[in-house]
Amino acid sequence: MATERPNPLFRNKTAKVAAIPMIATALIVFIGGTVWTIVYSFTKSGLLPRLKWVGLDQYERLWDSKRWLISIENLAIYGFLMLVLVFVIGFVLAALIDQKIRFENTIRTVILYPYAMSFVVTGLVWQWILNPEFGVQSIVRGLGWESFTFDPLYNASIAIYGVLIAGLWQGTGLVMVLMLAGLRGIDQDVWKASRVDGIPAWKTYLFIVIPMMRPVFVTALVIVVTGIVKLYDLIVAQTGGGPGIATEVPAKYVYDMMFQSQNLGQGFAASTMMLLTVAIFIVPWAIMEFGGKKRG
């Protein structure tokens, strides 16, 4: 008699058993934690989580809060400029280093070095550099320009750009190295072919090389974007959210609400909004990136 066909659920048992810890972690820690946070964002949890439902109250308060709106605005400004500048500067630096220059190793190391520093150190260093009494302003004034003013961290309307400078200084090196690796991965024959056809170098970069470097760009994008969304330590070290509340960011709002205001519900609501914002960007991209492949 023919043996019974094995249940597909029990095929490849070893592989499935081996995957259990990973699946459990994903379900319990990531998905479970997220669901728990969202559920409690509809409650009036104070110092400790409590299931006392208040509907959308926490969200109403969140979007009424000036500090939250400023946080969102800051993150948008910082995020947009960081994304654009880090890629432009990173790619240009990589392209310049790729011209078979001398001392390439030294220069590459120097530019990458800031990335080895934590955000806390970066924040403190730039706090000093931008301090009008010890930093850039006093040096330039010492050189003779008595009226020179450069104190972004003490001017509420431009303080976020002072943070941006520090963020760029720290992050550009990594993007540059990733780009350089991508450029090195381009077949030299592509360059030879474009030279034969008489295409100028900048056009080759823009229309041939960059499209070929798509995987590198995606990797760099994911790293840079996650760095932007979780922006917290740089702010704490460099400005503490000040002057006033001019450089507050969402992640800091969440922390302060949960642990200083003893208002967990409000913190959960804010973090749910952060998740939602990320999801708005990630989900369409993921569908585009992975959804098509199954059919194709």
Partner 1 sequence: MKLVSKLLCATALVGAAGAANATDLEVMHWWTSGGEAAAVAEFAKAFDATGHKWIDGAIAGGENARPVMVSRITGGDPMGAFQFNHGRQAEELIEAGLLRDLTDIAEAEGWMDVVNPTTLLDACTLDGRIYCAPVNIHSWQWLWLSRGAYEGAGLDVPTNWAEFVAAAPALKEAGKIPLAMGQQGWQQSGAFNVMMASLVPQDIFMAVYDGKDAEVAAGPEVAEVFAAAAAARDMSAKSTVQNWNDATNLVITDEAGGQIMGDWAQGEFAVAEKVAGEDYECLPGLGTNEFLGVGGDAFYFPVLDDEEQIAAQTELAKLLLSPPVQVAFNLAKGSLPVRGDIDLSAANDCMQKGLALLAEDKLLPETNLLITQDTTTQINTLFTEFFADSSITAEAAQAEFAEIIAKAE
Which one, 221 or 245, has the nearer CB to partner 1? 245
CB 235 within 8 A of CB 254: no
Q: Does 149 bind partner 1 (CB under 8 A)?
A: no
Q: Is 92 in the site for partner 1 (CB under 8 A)?
A: no
Neighbours of 220 (CB within 10 A): 23
Tokens 């001392």, residue located: 103
Single out the segment in contact with partner 1 by CB under 8 A; choices: 171-179, 192-200, 262-270, 281-289: 262-270
Cα–Cα distance between 275 and 186 in angstroms, integer?
Answer: 36
Which range, of 95-103, 173-181, 213-221, 255-263, touches partner 1 by CB under 8 A?
255-263
Least CB distance from residue 168 to partner 1, whole Å? 25
Q: What is the DSSP string of the chain?
A: -PPPPPPGGGTTHHHHHHHHHHHHIIIIIIIIHHHHHHHHTTB---SS----B-TTHHHHHHHH-HHHHHHHHHHHHHHHHHHHHHHHHHHHHHHHHTTT-TTHHHHHHHHHGGGGS-HHHHHHHHHHHT-TTTSHHHHHHHTT-TT----GGG-TTTHHHHHHHHHHHHHHHHHHHHHHHHHHTS-HHHHHHHHHTT--HHHIIIIIIHHHTHHHHHHHHHHHHHHHHT--HHHHHHTTT-STTTT--HHHHHHIIIIIS--HHHHHHHHHHHHHHHHHHHHHHHIIIIIHHHH-
Site residues for partner 1, 15-34, by CB under 8 A, read none
CB of 36 to partner 1, least distance (A): 15
CA distance 56 to 42: 6
108 sits near partner 1 (criterion: CB under 8 A): no
Contact with partner 1 (CB under 8 A): which of 121, 124, 129, 245? 245
Q: Which of 19, 28, 35, 47 binds partner 1 (CB under 8 A)?
A: 47
Nearest distance from C-beta of residue 263 to partner 1, angstroms: 4
Closer of 66 and 295 to partner 1 (Cβ): 66
Which CB sits closer to partner 1, 67 or 108?
67
- Using the rule CB under 8 A, give the single segment among 2-10, 44-52, 104-112, 284-292 that binds partner 1: 44-52
Between 56 and 190, CB nearer to partner 1 = 56
Q: Based on the shown chain and the rule CB under 8 A, indicate whether residue 98 belongs to the binding site for partner 1.
A: no
Q: Could you say whether residue 285 binds partner 1 (CB under 8 A)?
A: no
- State which of residues 39, 46, 77, 223 lies at the interface with partner 1 (CB under 8 A): 46
Check binding of 14 to partner 1 (CB under 8 A). no
Interacting residue with partner 1 among 14, 99, 147, 260 (CB under 8 A): 260
Told to check if 80 binds partner 1 by CB under 8 A, we report no
Question: Of residues 41, 266, 271, 272, which one binds partner 1 by CB under 8 A?
Answer: 266
Q: How far is the CB of 135 from partner 1 (least distance, A)?
A: 14
**Is the peptide bond preceding residue 243 cis, with omega within 30 degrees of 0?**
yes
Cα–Cα distance between 173 and 102 in angstroms, integer? 18
CB of 12 to partner 1, least distance (A): 40
Residues of the shown chain interacting with partner 1 in the complex, contacts defined by CB under 8 A: 46-48, 61, 66-67, 156, 242-246, 256, 259-263, 266
